Amino acid sequence: MTQFVQPNRQLFVSIAGITTAVLTGIVLGLIEVYTGYAIYSFTFWFIVPVGSFLAGLGSAAGFYYGAKYFQQKPIGGVFLNMVIASTSAFFIVHYVPYFLLEINGVRVKEAVTFWQYLDIDIRNTSLSFIRSPNTSTGELGIWGYLYAFIQLLGFSFGGICVFFLLNQIPFCKKCSRYLKKIYQKDKFTSDGDSLIESLQNIQSLIGNNEFDKAINFHAENIGVNEKPGHHLRARITTRVCPGCSINHLNFVISKFEKDSWSDVKGSEISIFTNQPLITNR
């Protein structure tokens, strides 16, 4: 068993994650009962489960903060627990109305089983457009299961994203601690040729262990500080381990397309060093 995987702390991380999953499911279920609005059901073009994805993120938030607080890598059973907890929130969301709703003075839970209720609810699902709320698809019938499956995927994908988000944070195996961010700066440009040349200069400086020079070069010689009008971003981030003070430097170029930033393949530089790094610039 490695030092950064401690069963007792992993258990606490899982408890924190399961707690937020249950609370997320209950809150969303209560909102649906008392307002009639199922936030988790919001989708783009009926196939992109934005609402359930965000609900899945919220369900797995406890794993994220638990892992950070207890300084545990999300490996082993924690990943499976993340997916299960996020997916379980989907069923909790539906169980709350089942438990609370009454029809003609009769509690639904006294008339049918939960699985019978869920089948009825799924088959009677109807969809409407935000811009035209009076326009509805009508009951989906058996196709409601496809829509429910898409929502279920959204919940589970939210948990998976939290897992990968945690894995992106540099971790000191020696001290079993996540590194703390101490500096981050973004520079923006639209000059791709100049940025490639700058990347080569930074690679050379980092290759020669001239880390502070690389940070200064980035701040002084690449583009501008503001994004508007530019589609290329060069980001430098430095972190330090609170335990042994080992430092981590990350440089990456990203391109803005389709309303989001995506990292340019082959541009990332990620390195640990014992040399102290600039904490502000």
Specify the pLDDT at position 123. 84
* Positive or negative: CA dihedral 12, 15, 21, 24: negative
pLDDT of residue 201: 94
The tokens for 139 are 């009951």
Answer for the pair 176, 4: CB distance below 8 angstroms, yes or no: yes
Question: In Å, how far are 10, 64, 245 from 68, measured between CA atoms?
Answer: 11, 6, 18
For the chain, which residues make up each domain, given as ranges? 7-168, 177-273
HEC string of 136-198 equals ECCCCHHHHHHHHHHHHHHHHHHHHHHHHHHHCCCEECCCCEECEEEEEEEEEECCHHHHHHH
pTM of the model as a whole = 0.69
- What are 78-137's pLDDT values in tens digits? 677 778 888 888 899 989 988 988 887 788 888 889 898 888 888 877 655 444 445 555
pLDDT confidence of residue 139: 61
pLDDT exceeds 50 at position 1:
no
| Amino acid 75: pLDDT | 67
Report, as an integer, the average pLDDT of 55-61. Answer: 85
pLDDT, tens digit (0-9, with 9 covering 90-100), for 34-50: 887 777 777 766 567 77
What pLDDT score does 214 carry? 94
Mean residue pLDDT across the chain: 83
Angstrom distances, CA of residue 28 to CA of 22, 63, 90 = 10, 19, 10
At residue 206, does pLDDT exceed 90? yes
Distance in Å from the first CA to the final CA of the chain:
41
CA distance 156 to 161: 9
- DSSP letter string over 250-267? EEEEEEEETTEEEEPTT-
Q: Residue 55: what pLDDT?
A: 85
Q: CB under 8 Å, gap of 24 or more: what pairs does 123-128 form? A: 127/46
